[in-house]
Amino acid sequence: MNIDSHCPFCQSETEDLDHMFLGCTISHNYWRLVVFHNWINTNLPFNPHIGIIQMLNSVKATGPAVKMDRVITLLWSIWKTRNNMVFHSETPNPGTILIRAQKATAEWHIRHKYAINSHKQFNHQPPLSQPSTGRRHTRSHGGSHNVGSSK
C-alpha cells in the first residue's frame, strides 16, 4: 500500500500536525477567514513557525481575549476537512470549515449548559418524601399490593 505523505491541502509539504494546522498556506486562509469574520479575536498568537502545542499554550496564556473553544473547534473542523479530502475526495471549502466550527462550538455550549443545569437540578432537588407506612411488594405479574391490606 502506497501512502502519500504530502499535505492534502497544498500537496507541496510533508504532512504533519504543525504544517497542517499552522504552516500550510491553505490553513492560513482558514485562519484569516475566521479573523475576518470576527469569530476568533485578532489577538490570536498565530505564528506558522511555532508548533501547534506552543500555539495552544499561547492562546491559553492570553486568557479570555481569545476563546479557546473556538480555536479548538476550528482545529477540529480543519481536521475533518482534511479527512473528507483524503477519504471521500471532497474539495475543501473555507466557508464550510468556518460553519462547521461555529456549529460545533454552538452545540458544545448547548450541551455544556444543559449538563450544568441538569447537574444543578439533580443536586438541588428536595429530598424524597418518606414512604407510606405500609410496605409494598411487587407481585410476579408486575402489580403491587400493600402488605397487611385487605386488597
For 23-79, how does the pLDDT look when each residue is reduced to its tens digit (9 = 90+)? Answer: 999 998 999 899 899 998 766 766 777 889 988 888 888 777 678 889 999 999 999
Residue 89 backbone class (left: φ over 0; alpha: ψ -120 to 50; beta: rest): left
Residue 129 backbone class (left: φ over 0; alpha: ψ -120 to 50; beta: rest): beta
pLDDT at 132 over 70: no
Domain positions in the chain are 17-122
Integer Cα distance of 108 and 102 in angstroms = 10
Q: Are 69 and 108 in contact (CB under 8 A)?
A: yes
Integer Cα distance of 138 and 151 in angstroms = 14
Q: What's the pLDDT score for residue 112?
A: 80
pLDDT at 88 over 60: yes
Q: What is the mean pLDDT of the chain?
A: 80
